[in-house]
Amino acid sequence: MPSAGFLALLDDIATLLDDVAAMSKLSVKKTAGVLGDDLALNAKQVTGVLAERELPVVWAVTKGSLLNKLILVPLAMLVSAFLPWLIQPLLMLGGLYLCYEGFHKIAQRWLGGHDEAKPRLEELLASGRDLRDYERQKIRGAIRTDFVLSAEIVVLILGVVREAPLPAQIVTLSLVAAGMTLLVYGLVAAIVKIDDLGGWLLAGAHEGRRGAWRRALGRALLAAAPRLMKTLSVLGTAAMFLVGGGILLHGLPWLHHAVAERLHGLPFTSGLQALAGGFVGLLAGGLLVLGERVFSRPHARSA
């Protein structure tokens, strides 16, 4: 499920950049008052403080992803050679983590935790602490998500090249894993710079028909950029359940066979199986978040 994995990665990037945007706006409010809603002013702001952090954030996660591959490729080959039975349980642990992260995002948004981010940012600004520390925490979260998805990708590639000679396995795994990282995060970098392209079109627009076309396109890109990131965040959260639940579903043969039998003969079987995996992921994530809240309450009371 590479496309779902890509969306799951985009979710963490989108969430992180949303936090960077919030931090940037709060910083501007402390020094320059409340920003207006004028589109040109927003374009200037997008190409200012926020734009300075977009590519560094994506590059930081890219480096973390490459490090993940550097760890996972030799580790996967060792486990496959000496402890092949361990691959599936490790993948399932990763799937549980993705389901937990996905449901945790939903719980934060709908159960009141989501709005706590803004007061926290206000407190960080008031305390004078470096906001890069907060950013680094978010980057580490994105890299953890990438680790799970990278593990799934490496195992899938390993399954294809398992019969090849050892040197061919090493070269193929390394090249494909690194290539997918650069491709995915290259696309992410292009997506997050859409707003900069809109600002550039507005800034360079002259009078006349051509200038009007540039202004219209620039405004459209600036208006679409935040909506696109929000959409990617929603799709990415759903992808966490699809990927994580799919791993769990395939790791439980009795459940996988039961679902396959129920869906046999129906149209769009592959899509329905993916949705079934997503439902399993949603259920697993809900149980994990519920368990966390139940077991954390006694500690909170004792504190």
Q: List, for residues 153-170, the tens digit of each pLDDT value.
A: 787 777 777 777 888 888
Q: Which domain holds residue 232?
A: 2-236
195-201's contacts with Cβ under 8 Å and 24+ in sequence apart are: 195/43, 195/46, 195/47, 195/51, 195/221, 195/222, 195/225, 195/226, 196/46, 196/47, 196/51, 196/54, 197/221, 198/43, 198/46, 198/222, 198/225, 199/43, 199/44, 199/46, 199/47, 200/47
Residue 285: inside a domain, yes or no?
A: no
| Number of domains into which the chain is organized | 1
Residue 206: inside a domain, yes or no?
A: yes
What per-residue confidence (pLDDT) applies to 279? 95
Assign 299 a pLDDT band (cuts: 50, 70, 90).
low
pLDDT average, residue stretch 239-257: 89
Residue 107: inside a domain, yes or no?
A: yes
Assign 49 a pLDDT band (cuts: 50, 70, 90).
very low
pLDDT average, residue stretch 204-215: 73
Cα(26)–Cα(137) distance, integer angstroms? 19
Residue 22: inside a domain, yes or no?
A: yes
pLDDT average, residue stretch 241-264: 89
Q: Is the dihedral of CA 247, 106, 269, 8 positive or negative?
A: negative
Whole-angstrom distance between the N-terminal and C-terminal Cα of the chain? Answer: 43
Residue 275: inside a domain, yes or no?
A: no
What is the residue-averaged pLDDT of the chain?
Answer: 74
Residue 38: inside a domain, yes or no?
A: yes
Residue 105: inside a domain, yes or no?
A: yes
Residue 193: inside a domain, yes or no?
A: yes
Task: Match 């900069």 to its residue by tokens.
Answer: 196
What per-residue confidence (pLDDT) applies to 45? 28
Task: Match 């305390």 to its residue by tokens.
Answer: 127
**103-127: burial string, b at 16+ Cβ within 10 Å, e else:** bbbbbeeeeeeeeebeeebeebeee
